Amino acid sequence: MSLDIETNSYGGGFATPPVDAANAFRAAMNAMARPGTVQDIAGASPPAGISPAAGALLLTLCDPETGVYLAPDVDSPELRAWLAFHTGAPIVAADQADFALGSWVALMPVGQYRVGTSEYPDRSATLIVEMAQLIPATATLTGPGIKERAELRLPDVAACQANAMQFPLGVDFFFTCGGQLTALPRSTTILPKE
């Protein structure tokens, strides 16, 4: 019996995990540290329906210590098996999640995710939002990581503004599309683009 790694959950992981994860993390860190920049991230081939960028983030950041919530539009036996094999991350409910994956509409409402506590604002969820496209921008950004102002495509400007209003509480976002990602930390001040 042969093992066809193209069609089952054992394939699609990092070829050289320490190096691929390091490169993927550097992209994720640059995105989070410089909101508005688009970063390339590669190395993962997740099951159909999930972007390589989102797959690389999951492989880089998730393990048995992190609960992952899969929104209804991405939740599938294939993805669950792939995550279980490559990360060992438990699948949890939205209000327990460290990481949540899905399209914006499927992930909503944003209020159901953990935002941290005033003494531990780091105990909050990170949302990995699958996007159809990362451009053109819909919002103007200022704040940490941005020299003067930056621009970013957001699925819902008002909801992201409400999240930022809770600073230092709130969730943080990665936006993924194909092999690229952008990020929006809760510290960013957001204005709709004219």
Partner 1 sequence: MSDYNFAYLDEQTKRMIRRAILKGLAVPGYQVPFASREMPMPYGWGTGGVQVTAATLVPDDSLKVIDQGADDTTNAVSIRKFFERTAGVATTEETKKASVIQTRHRIPEADLSEDQILVYQVPIPEPLRFLEPREMETRKMHSLEEYGLMHVKLYEDISQHGDIATAYAYPVKVEDRYVMDPSPIPKFDNPKLEMAAIQLFGAGREQRIYALPPYTRVVSLDFEDYPFEATKANHPCDLCAAEDSYLDEVILDDAGSRMFVCSDTDYCRSRRAEGHVGRLGEEAA
Considering only residues 75-104, where is the footprint of partner 1 by CB under 8 A?
98
Sign, CA dihedral 122-40-108-153, equals positive
> Closer to partner 1 at the Cβ: 48 or 120?
120
Q: Are 141 and 149 spatial neighbours (Cβ–Cβ below 8 Å)? A: yes
Identify the bridge partners of residue 103 per DSSP, sorted by sequence position.
130
Query: Does 126 interact with partner 1 (rule: CB under 8 A)?
Result: yes
Q: What is the β-pairing status of strands 68-70 and 99-103?
A: parallel
Query: Does 146 interact with partner 1 (rule: CB under 8 A)?
Result: yes
Q: Which stretch binds partner 1 (CB under 8 A): 70-78, 103-111, 122-130, 131-139?
A: 122-130
Tokens of 186: 């809760």
Nearest-CA neighbor of 53 among 184, 176, 192? 176
Query: Does 67 interact with partner 1 (rule: CB under 8 A)?
Result: no
Query: Does 179 interact with partner 1 (rule: CB under 8 A)?
Result: no
Residue 58 backbone phi and psi in degrees, to 5 = -60, -45
In this chain, which of 121, 134, 157, 179 binds partner 1, going by CB under 8 A? 121
> Closer to partner 1 at the Cβ: 49 or 168?
168
Query: Does 68 interact with partner 1 (rule: CB under 8 A)?
Result: no
**What is the spatial distance between Cα 7 and Cα 75, in angstroms, rounded to a whole number?**
17
* Strands of the sheet with 68-70, listed across from one edge: 39-40, 180-184, 172-177, 126-130, 99-103, 68-70
CA atoms within 13 A on the CB side of 10: 4
> Closer to partner 1 at the Cβ: 19 or 191?
19
> Closer to partner 1 at the Cβ: 40 or 49?
40
Query: Does 63 interact with partner 1 (rule: CB under 8 A)?
Result: yes
Task: State in angstroms the smallest separation of the CB of 123 from partner 1.
Answer: 9
Task: State in angstroms the smallest separation of the CB of 42 from partner 1.
Answer: 13
**Which residues of this protein are in contact with partner 1, per CB under 8 A?**
17-19, 21-23, 25-26, 28-30, 32-34, 60-63, 65-66, 98, 117-122, 124, 126, 143-147, 167-168, 172, 185-187
